[in-house]
Structure 1
């Protein structure tokens, strides 16, 4: 199992077709994950994207956009290990692994909440899109 295993879900009150273009844009990847090099494995359109990641971590990452109610459940997965000085995976253990997982979890939630704020554009709860 990778030492960095992050799973996150956030509801956005907009349809997947509004969220998908954000994750389809390679310029956004650099903003969201500046220390990761993303390469698309599968572009699933309005259902999201799967990547292999390199750079600070090596492994896989996925954004799955699930239609839910009148919006989207944004599922985020990151499964990777840090890269050592020799360029090979260097799994973390103990507190260092926990600290890195927390850091990546917080980053995922900041991205999701920023998208929620931007894409919902002040839509009050319960109001139709």
Structure 2
């Protein structure tokens, strides 16, 4: 009998946005944005770091930690995104789908804040 074990999830990403950290945070906190970026993850705030971002505990498809760190740099903000935990559902390809969904979403915010059209 083969026992299926949860897989380790470790996602790291960063994106430069030409906007202030609080502006980026406000865009990420618009209603429905985080739920659209992370479907299947229930979040509980572990640490609210204000203009520097938020750390969450997660449950659902991944049990572990999630963080958005907003690093102020000359000319804008680097949006660092981390997810680390155990995948509960055993669904293959979760990380790849998540990375694509995250990149699409953060670039949509980036384009809007930088005045670009898609």
TM-score range (shorter-chain normalised) is: 0.7 to 0.9
Residue 114 of structure 2: which of 103, 112, 120 is its match?
120
Partners in 2 of 1:122 and 1:27 — Cα distance?
22
Measure the CA separation in 1 of the matches of 2:31 and 2:88.
Answer: 22
Which structure carries more helix by proportion?
A: 1
Stretches of 4+ moved more than 6 A in 1?
none
Q: How many residues align?
A: 111
State the match for 1:29 in structure 2: 34
Residue by residue over 1:58-108, the C-alpha shift from the partner in whole angstroms, topping out at 9 and shown as x without a partner, is 111000000111100000000121225xxxxx6x8xxx4xx3222222222
* Distance in 2 between residues matched to 1:54 and 1:26, nearest whole Å: 20
Gaps of 5+ in 2: 1-6
Relative to the length of structure 1, the TM-score reads 0.75
Please state if 1:19 is matched with 2:24. yes
Match in the other structure for 2:3: none
Which residue of the other structure, out of 72, 97, 116, is the alignment partner of 2:77?
Answer: 72
Structure 2 residue 59 is the aligned partner of structure 1 residue 54: yes
Calculate the aligned-residue CA RMSD, in Å: 2.2
More strand by share: 2
2:96 alignment partner, one of 90, 94, 102: 102
**Residue pair 2:38, 2:98 contacting (<8 A) in 1 also:** no
